[in-house]
Amino acid sequence: MVVSQLTVSLKSFVKNTNRRGNNTMSNVITVGLGSCGIAAGGEDVVAAIVKKLEETGINAEVNSTGCCGMCHREVIVEVNTKEHGSCFYGDIDVKKAEQIVEKHLKENAPVEEWLIAPSGKNIKAADYFSKQKRIVLRNCGEIDPENLDHYIEQGGFKAIEKCLKEMSQQEVIDEIKSSGLRGRGGAGFSTGMKWQFAYDATGDPKYIVCNADEGDPGAFMDRSVLEGDPCSVLEGMLIASYAIGATEGYIYCRAEYPLAIHRLNLAIDAMTEKNYLGDNILGTEFSLKLKIKEGAGAFVCGEETA
């Protein structure tokens, strides 16, 4: 299934593309459009919401986002208003979406029975996240992964800017060593040591490769972050490339992840346009170009010695 069949651009639906909290809109609706949300009917829900807004004349911003972690409750719709704050609805279909616009926005009365409610209580989804500390997935479900400005507003590219303008390559590597960051595989190998080996290695040019094949059955960690926050992965590659002296990189991504590949391509194009990728990044001597290589579907391809 090609991406155009899997997902449609929300740009054809939105009434305003500014991020909530940084605009004059008092009503903001955000719909989960990760693979899980789309599979549950998220595109139809977005279309129904926008159509209902137009019919009722209600002024509201409509955003898309990646999966927030509650795949089992998709389609998830967040409605943010001044009167009621942020309210999360789960298991939403077209008819429910129309009613949410009618009741929550027009009549100013949230539909209590559709709110995501652990333990049967009508409480906001913030309670679902209260005991979580999300690091890698901190932006998933929070930003529009197809809007570079959303990532920047969350502090995106501050790290690479600091590295390029305030730190040497060795200082970056030493910082990673001090952090204790390790690989997430079984070996748990020191990331700082790996970067040091690459930095010390002779030979030019140097390359960086991101393994996003994720061939393990039922494993969707890579998919979640690539669909929900692709720029964070790319910024991480930028930092690593600067540290080791790489000038070209590849993202080896599973071909069965068309939405992830689609959003990676959008992110690469947007970052190139804004000079976060390409030649003389941010006015420095550092340059990096990234390409995506789609996997062939074989499990062993994700293993480093293959």
Examine the pLDDT at 11 and tell me if it is beyond 60: no
Looking at the structure, tell me whether residues 180 and 298 fall in a common domain: yes
> Is 159 found in the same domain as 267?
yes
Query: Is the same domain home to 153 and 128?
Result: no
Edge-first strand listing for the sheet containing 248-253: 207-212, 248-253, 289-294
Radius of gyration, CA atoms only, the chain: 21
Domain for residue 120, yes or no? yes
Structural domain includes residue 143: no
What's residue 300's pLDDT?
Answer: 66
Of residues 160 and 133, more confidence is placed in: 160
Q: Which of 74, 101, 132 is the last residue of a domain?
A: 132
The last residue of a domain, from among 132, 164, 189: 132
Q: Is 245 helix (H, G, I), strand (E, B) or coil?
A: coil
User: 194-251, pLDDT tens digit by residue?
Assistant: 999 999 999 999 999 998 887 777 778 888 999 999 999 999 999 999 999 999 999 9
**pLDDT grade, residue 162 (50/70/90)?**
very high
Report pLDDT for 131.
81
Min mean pLDDT across 64-73, 167-176, 192-201 is at 64-73
Query: Could you tell me if 121 and 249 lie in one domain?
Result: no
d(Cα 79, Cα 87) in Å, to the nearest integer? 5
Examine residue 75 and say whether the peptide bond preceding it is cis (omega within 30 degrees of 0). Answer: yes
Does residue 139 lie within any of the structural domains? Answer: no
CATH number at residue 15: 3.40.30.10
Average pLDDT over residues 42-69: 94
Q: Are residues 110 and 177 in the same domain?
A: no
What dihedral do alpha carbons 111, 113, 114, 116 form, nearest 10°?
Answer: 120
Shared domain check, 115 and 153 = no
pLDDT at residue 261 above 70?
Answer: yes
Predicted model pTM: 0.85
Q: Where are the alpha helices (H) located in the chain, listed in sequence order? A: 3-6, 35-39, 42-56, 94-100, 126-129, 148-153, 158-166, 169-179, 191-200, 221-228, 230-244, 258-273
Query: How buried is 16 (Cβ within 10 angstroms: 0-12 exposed, 13-18 middle, 19+ buried)?
Result: middle
Q: Domain check: are 78 and 159 in the same one?
A: no
CATH number of residue 173's parent domain: 3.40.50.11540
| pLDDT score, position 9 | 41
* pLDDT beyond 70 at 301: no
Hey, what amino acid is at 95? K
CB-based contact 245:202 (threshold 8 Å) = no
Mean pLDDT of 42-46: 96
- Establish if 197 belongs to a structural domain: yes
Does residue 60 have a pLDDT over 80? yes
Confidence grade of residue 185 (pLDDT, cut at 50, 70, 90): confident
Residue 195 CA to residue 178 CA, distance in Å, equals 13
- Decide if 47 is inside a domain: yes
Do residues 125 and 14 share a domain? yes
- Does residue 22 lie within any of the structural domains? yes
Q: What's residue 26's pLDDT?
A: 83
Look at residue 140 and tell me if it is in a domain. no
pLDDT of residue 238: 98
Could you tell me if 183 and 112 lie in one domain? Answer: no
Mean pLDDT over 13-41 rounds to: 71
Both 101 and 211 in one domain: the answer is no
How many separate domains does the chain show?
A: 2
Average of per-residue pLDDT across 263-290: 97
In a domain, 98, yes or no: yes
Confidence of residue 7 (pLDDT cuts 50, 70, 90): very low
pLDDT at 215: 72
Domain boundary among 83, 102, 132: 132
Domain range enclosing 198:
149-302
Q: What contacts 33, CB < 8 A, 6 or more positions away?
A: 7, 10, 42, 43, 46, 64, 65, 66
Q: How many CB atoms lie within 10 A of CB 221?
A: 13
Burial of residue 11, with CB atoms counted within 10 A of its CB: 0-12 exposed, 13-18 middle, 19 or more buried? exposed
Asked whether residue 118 falls in the same domain as residue 255, the answer is no
Are 187 and 278 in a shared domain?
Answer: yes
